[in-house]
Amino acid sequence: MEYKNVLTTCIYCGCGCGLYLQVLDNKIVGTLPAKGHVIGEGKLCIKGWNAHDFVHHPERLTTPLIRDQKGGKLREATWDEALDLVASRLNQVAAEYGPDATGFFASAKCTNEENYVLQKLARGVIGTNNVDHCARL
């Protein structure tokens, strides 16, 4: 059996707390706070303590799903196919109904930089100011 701690950043909010994922035989089995980390200072919230739970969950989606136009069933797709579909549908809605017919919702689970890129996509590419964030609530 091989055991190791892998230093990483918590994924549950944009704070950036440091944590160690406990890895046993290439499977994540637990989480520990990074005591010397400048953000969390050795502490984690309840979400951070459980940051590993979803990784090996049997219901976790690992590939994109696209709804079949004819039968309405979901089918697996490649990332290129899924992203092309999303881009074409966003462009189609914006062209048909105007850019303000679309909206973007950012997340506290993303970094500030990722949320910045999302609002740049909304404003610069699609042309809408309909951008919101869960932290506003």
Going from the N-terminus, what domains does the chain have, and what CATH number goes with each? 3-49 (2.20.25.90), 63-97 (no CATH), 99-137 (no CATH)
pLDDT of residue 42: 92
Q: Does residue 127 sit in helix, strand or coil?
A: coil
Q: Which H or E run includes 120?
A: helix 112-120
* 73 neighbors 101 (Cβ within 8 angstroms): no
pLDDT of residue 137: 47
pLDDT of residue 136: 55
Query: Among 89, 61, 87, 88, which residue's Cα sits nearest to residue 76?
Result: 61
pLDDT digits (tens, 9 = 90+) for 28-73: 999 999 999 999 899 999 988 988 888 889 999 999 999 988 888 9
pLDDT digits (tens, 9 = 90+) for 79-131: 999 999 999 999 999 999 999 999 999 887 777 888 899 999 999 999 999 99
